[in-house]
Amino acid sequence: MDVTVRGAGIFGLSVAWACLEKGARVRVIDPKGVGGGASGGIVGALAPHVPENWNEKKEFQFQSLIAAEDFWKNVGNWAEIETGYARTGRVQPLADEAAVALARARAESAKELWRGAAQWQVVSGDALNGPLPESATGLYIFDTLSARMFPRQACKALAAAVVARGGEMAADGAEAGQTVWATGVHDLLRLSQHFGKPVGNAVKGQGALLAFDMRDAPQIFANTVHIVPHWNGTVAIGSTSERAFDDASSTDGQLEAVLEKAYTAVPALRAARVIERWAGLRPRTKSRAPMLGHHPLQEGAYIANGGFKIGFGMAVEVGRVMAALVLDGTDTIPAEFAPEASL
């Protein structure tokens, strides 16, 4: 075995896939199974940073979002099951003329920063399909870079593709070859305990899945809530961000408040049946950026962690740069992603 990846969430599976593409023999180990942690969620809003004040982090995410369409098509071909991915864009209502002016300015900067690969537009509701939230100005932001992803289905498909390509999936086992730790909250808490200071933490999120078919419509961001249509005729609503909580896996009134915001934004959702309520912990580093590179505690090993809110959107590039580091010794990881940025 050339590479052992500990963790079968989106970062671990993406690293495993990228290593397989470079010809390595790979085993993924996770006692909780595929998508057993934060990556087993239901929301899946792959949305870009706003096109202004450009930096390495935004460029990294942009490259990943652009590459995602071909990436997930390839994964689906190998897995022979649905991935749940589609680049259907995102709609955001504009509340007043100041918001319209800012959105138009960002539309101009997107022409340069997104280099014609995607658009950030200000449009009327007549130009959009599907249920729309109310807009006081009658105008909306519509960007063509945002995509939707059903997280747990994506992980299922990627794991199947790893196996189809010759990789191994296991619940336990010894490490062999190079080791990549992609164990999310567990590793961030272990690092914090070792260094005696916060290196990262768990942030609880709650979301809901509704039986409402708007699968061809863009996702919606309104009232601080993500409304994400999925390929299977469901709509995900999310999510909370809780630093303090008693039960990591329970849902409560905070989720009901999120649902009420979604119903207010898109009244047609109110009659939809709630299929599932989900809660889980997401890994957030102190720097708020992914933590990629040499593992601070495991000598000779590597770490891929900290995908809080942006993990699925950055996963394609995370896999690529980690495989280059692990297999070739080539380090193209942005400096702010280095573990030292959170230590």
Cα–Cα distance, 269 to 202 (Å, whole number): 30
pLDDT at 108 over 90: yes
pLDDT in tens, 30-73: 999 999 999 999 999 999 999 999 999 999 999 999 999 999 99
Q: Which residue has the tokens 């708007």?
A: 214
Domain membership of residue 269 (yes or no) is no
Identify the pLDDT of residue 319.
98
pLDDT in tens, 134-161: 999 999 999 999 999 999 999 999 999 9
Percent of residues, the chain, with pLDDT higher than 90:
99
Domain membership of residue 79 (yes or no) is yes
Cα–Cα distance, 121 to 63 (Å, whole number): 20
pLDDT at 253 over 90: yes
Identify the pLDDT of residue 28.
98
pLDDT in tens, 209-239: 999 999 999 999 999 999 999 999 999 999 9
Q: Are 11 and 312 in contact (CB under 8 A)?
A: no
Number of folded domains that form the chain = 1
CA 57 vs CA 105, 114, 309: distances in Å: 21, 14, 14
* Token reading at 159: 């794991």
Q: Are 62 and 114 in contact (CB under 8 A)?
A: yes
Residue 104 pLDDT level (bands cut at 50, 70, 90): very high
pTM of the model: 0.97
The DSSP bridge pattern shows strands 139-143 and 120-124 to be antiparallel
Domain membership of residue 308 (yes or no) is yes
Non-local CB neighbours of 22 within 8 Å, separated by 6+ positions: 323, 327, 328
Q: What is the DSSP letter of 34?
A: T
Q: What is the mean pLDDT of residues 247-254?
A: 96
Q: Are 137 and 97 in contact (CB under 8 A)?
A: yes
CATH number for the domain including 291? 3.50.50.60
Amino acid at 138: G
- To the nearest whole number, what is the mean pLDDT of the chain? 97
Domain membership of residue 113 (yes or no) is no
pLDDT at 129 over 90: no
pLDDT in tens, 181-205: 999 999 999 999 999 999 999 999 9
pLDDT at 306 over 90: yes
Domain membership of residue 278 (yes or no) is no
- The percent of the chain in helix, strand and coil, each rounded to the nearest 5, is 35, 25, 40
Cα–Cα distance, 114 to 122 (Å, whole number): 16
User: Rg for the chain (alpha carbons), in Å?
Assistant: 20
Q: What is the mean pLDDT of residues 313-323?
A: 98
Non-local CB neighbours of 180 within 8 Å, separated by 6+ positions: 3, 4, 5, 6, 12, 15, 301, 302, 303, 304, 322, 326
pLDDT at 18 over 90: yes
Residue 41: which domain range? 3-85+146-195+286-342
Identify the pLDDT of residue 116.
97
pLDDT in tens, 280-299: 999 999 999 999 999 999 99
pLDDT at 170 over 90: yes
The DSSP bridge pattern shows strands 3-6 and 26-29 to be parallel
Q: Are 177 and 4 in contact (CB under 8 A)?
A: yes
Domain membership of residue 104 (yes or no) is no
Domain membership of residue 260 (yes or no) is no
